[in-house]
Amino acid sequence: MSLKRLLCRVRACTVCADGLPLGPRPVLQIASSARLLIVGQAPGRKVHETGVPWHDASGERLRDWMGIDRAAFYDEGRVAIVPIGLCYPGSDPAGGDKPPRPECAPLWHGSLIGHLGDVGLTLLVGQHAQRFHLRLAGKRTMTDTVRSFGEYAPQFLPLPHPSWRSTIWMSRNPWFEAIVLPELRRRVRTVLASKATPEGHAHGRARRRAS
């Protein structure tokens, strides 16, 4: 299936509509030429309203961590954004948002990522992205997984979710700003400076045929 046709199906998805308080509105950004993939957890309410991924304070903080501006971040030819849950899951009475809907990633991630044959780096933002992609390779806690970021190179780089809570978390874990952020910025800069290759596109097509 072509990426264009797949996106039409994704954006028309209503599988978990009954569990979404504001209804379905899948929010993602993807092109087969992307070199960097960002996997977060699920859109927040503001992102749901605008339809623009990471269009909130968390997105500003994430871009600062990455060391790139909005123009680079929203260049879909280089940066793909595919959260674990594509729709806003609603707010949690205990604070923050609910976890991503469990139906979403198993249904769509394999097909979407199968179109990304030239990704040089995948950022796993938050514990939901890390659990889904790292599975048993992940550590007991998100903090331990991020601290062990070198174990997942060069394919993955795990990060905490850049919500307002991350400010408190960073104050308790100064190694993140001292060690992880410089490496994150270096790797993002390197992968975005590289060009997609015909071999990468062929690999993506082969992955799609195999899936």
Q: What is the DSSP string of 88-105?
A: ---B-TTSSBPPPPTTHH
Q: How many CB atoms lie within 10 A of CB 135?
A: 8
**Domain span at 82:** 3-201
Domain count, the chain: 1
pLDDT tops 60 at residue 148: yes
Q: What is the pLDDT of residue 194?
A: 86
209, part of any domain: no
40, part of any domain: yes
Q: What is the pLDDT of residue 197?
A: 65
pLDDT tops 70 at residue 102: yes
pTM of the entire predicted model:
0.92
Q: What is the pLDDT of residue 93?
A: 85
122, part of any domain: yes
**Location of structure tokens 């979710």:** 161
For residue 120, give the CATH number of its domain: 3.40.470.10
With cut-offs at 50, 70 and 90, classify the pLDDT of residue 20.
very high
